[in-house]
Structure 1
C-alpha cells in the first residue's frame, strides 16, 4: 500500500486493531501536504526524490489580472466558469502561473472535462509535477502541442482534429496510413473525429471499419455512415425499412423484424435491448433510426398519420433518426413533438437560438426548459437572451425559489458583451445577478486578451 492508503486504512479500523508507530494524525497531516505539493518521498528515508528540477518554461504566462481572476474562480467565485476560463486561456497559447498548478491539477483529478485544456496550460512545470504525484499523472496523457509523429495519443488526436477541420481528405489519408498500427482505443476516438467534414469520400474507409474488432469503432463508423444517405449502409437500412413499413393513404402499417441477424449487427443494430424494451421494438427503432429519412414523406405529414401498431416506437425512432442523421427538417418537426436538446444539434446556432427562444416563451421554468437551454450553442444572442430575461422576471414574481439554475444558465451562456442589456433590463435582483455574472465574464475575456 502507498503511505496515504496505509494511513487511511489504519484510521478506518483504529489503532487498537492496527497499531501504528508514531502519531497517526501528525503523519496524515504531513502526507496530505506532501501529496498536495506533488513530491515523492523515499519509502526508506523519507527524503524527497524529485530527480531533476522543473525545466524552464517555453510559453509566456497569462497576465497578472487574468491569473488573479483564475484564483478567484478556484476559490469558489463563479466556479462553474472554470472550464470557460481554461478554454479561453488555452486559445491564447499561454500557460497558467506556477502557483495555480496545485489547485488546478487537483481539480482536474476530479473533473475529467477540464483535462484537455490543462494539458496545454500547465506548461512544463505542470508536467514535471504530474510526474511526481501519481494522482496528477493523468496530465501526462493530455495534449501538449506535439506533432502526429512525435506526440502521444492526446496530441495525435488534437492534430488530427485540427487537420480534419482544415483538410478533411488529407486527415483521412493520414489516418488510413497508420490505422492498422493504432490501438483499439485510439481507433475508436480517431473514427469519431471524421464527423467533422464528413462526405462520401469517407464512405469506403468507414465501410471497412464496420469489420473492426472493437465494438466502439464499429458503432462510430455506423453512426457516420448513417449520416450519408448514399452510403451502402444507408441503402441496406432502407431495404430493411421497406420490409417493415407500408404506407397506404394516411396509415403507416408496421411489422417489426422477427430477428436480428449478423448483417444487421454489422450495420450497427445492437441485438440486446435496454431493460424495459422488447427485442422486436428495439430492432425496429434502430432500423428506422439508421434508414435514410428521405425514405419517408415530409415530417409534418408523417406526424399526422395514423400508426395502428408500434406507434410509440416509430415516433421515438424518428427522434433518434433526426439526431443521428443531423436532418434539420426532421429535427424542427420532432422538436415540436419531443423537445429534447439533442435535436437542436442538427440546426445551425442561429436557428437553435430562435427555436429555443420560442420554446422559452411558451414553457414554464421546469426541468425540461433547463435541459433545452443547456443544449443551445453559446454564446446566446439578443433574441434568446431577451426571452430568458423576460422569463426570469415572470418567474421571479410567482416562484422566486425556482430561479437558481435559470439565472446561472443565463449568466453563463448569454454573450458577455450583452451585460449592459441585462443591467438595464430590470432592477429586480435575479436580473442584476445575471448582469453581474456577464460583466464578470466580459472582464475575464478582456484580461486574457491583454
Structure 2
C-alpha cells in the first residue's frame, strides 16, 4: 500500500495542464470493439483504471500500439471471445467498474456480452439495472449466475426499440448507445444522459458511420447501421481534475493557471466555485486563479438563506466534485450545505476532515453542513487513509493547506484517477513525497 507524506502550508505557483478525462476514456476505449478497423485515440490518461481497461482489451485480443506519450491505435479484427468465459476475465473485470461498458459493443457485434460484477469506488450502491434493461428492450436475453456474480446477455439480432431510462445513467446510456448503433431499425432513448463525455462518444461513433441524432440532449435517436469503420479521436481534458486544481489553489492561497481546459465543456463548475467566493478568470482557453490573500466568502442565496450545493445529472453539477467543494468550504468565510443526492456513502470521509479541525456537521448520509474557518484557524496535519478517488484527492488538498506534515495511505485510490499527481504538484511547489 503506497503512502504520501505532505508538508502543508506551502504556496503553489505556476501552470498545470489537466490530463485526459478518465470517464470519457473508459467509454471511448470500449467503443473500439465495435469495428474491425483501426481506431486512433489521443490524450489517453496514464492512470490505473484506464491502464487496467487497456490490458483487458489486449487480453481480449485487441491489437494495441502506443504511438505517442498519450496516443494509441486499436484494431479489434481478431478477438479471443473465449477469454470472456475464463477465470482470468472474471478476475480482470471485477477490478474495474468501467469494464461494464464492453458488454454493449460485444453484444452488438458478436451477439453476446459477459461481465463479472464490477468493482470500483466504495461510494454506495451503483446499480447496473439501467444497462441490462436497455439490452433486454433491444432483444437480448439476460442471465445472471448468483454464485459467481456473473452477468451475461445474448441475442441473435438486436432490434431497435423505444425506451425511457429509469435514471439518466452516463455509463448506462453509453452502453445502450453502443449496442444500438448496430441494431436493426431505430432506437429512441429518452432520459438519456447528456454529459460532455457522452457527447464525445456519440460524435466519435457518428464519425465511424453511426447515425445518432439529438446529441447533447436527453432524447437520442439511433438509426442502426450494418457496420462501423475506423476513426481518430481526442479525449477532452478531465473536468474533475480541473475542479480539483481550482479547489487546491483556493485552499493554499496560490496563484495558478490551469491550461487548455475547454471552457465550453465545463458547465456549472466555474459558477459553483464562484458561489464559494473563489475568483476565476478566463484567459483564452485557460483558467487563471489569483492568490486569495483575503480568503473567499460564500455567496448566500438572494433571500439571505444558506447556500446549498447539490449534485445533479448534466447540465447540473457533477457529483464527482462535491467532495472537493466540501473541503474547500472548510476555509471559506460563511457556511454552506452540501447535498450529495446520488451516492449514500460519499460523505463519510468528512470524519477525517473533522479530525483535522474542520467544522462539519454530518446531517445524514447525504447532507453535511460546513462552517468555514475563514483561515483564522488552519487545518491540522494528521494521518489518513484514502477511501476512494474523489475523497482521496480532497484529503490531499486538505493536507496541502494544513499546518504540519500529513500522511495519506492507500494512495492507489488517488492513482486510479490522477496521473503522476505527486510529480505534477512538485513542479508547482508542493512538498509531497511518495513512499512505497
Common fold, TM-score beyond 0.5? Answer: no
Highest Rg: 1 or 2? 1
Higher helix share: 1
Higher strand share: 2
TM-score by length of 2: 0.30
